[in-house]
Amino acid sequence: MFFATVRKENKKTKRTNLWETVASILSIGAIWPVVIWYNAKQPIPQSYYIVLFVVLAVLVYIMSRRIKRLRGAMRDAKNRGRQFPF
């Protein structure tokens, strides 16, 4: 049987995960006006493109951190002689 050991998260990790989740949800909210403008056939204000690029940068940063954590977890599991379930 395969039983994964659960690592206890420290406060910093919990805050980081919470920050990443909140930032992702706010990013979706920042994209919503574009959908509304598109459906109303109104042009997107030029200044809003700055907001969209900032949102894109935040999402790329979050994705890179999560990929880094996943690779670390896979490396740790491999070093302990356990396989990931996939």
Sketch the domain layout of the chain as residue ranges.
Answer: 11-79
Look at residue 83 in the predicted model and tell me its pLDDT.
67
| Rounded mean pLDDT for each run of 10 residues along the chain, 86 residues in total | 54 85 92 91 92 95 93 84 66
User: What is the widest separation between alpha-carbon atoms in the chain?
Assistant: 58
Contact status, residue 30 vs residue 55, Cβ threshold 8 Å:
yes
Look at residue 2 in the predicted model and tell me its pLDDT.
45
Look at residue 79 in the predicted model and tell me its pLDDT.
83
- pTM of the complete model: 0.72
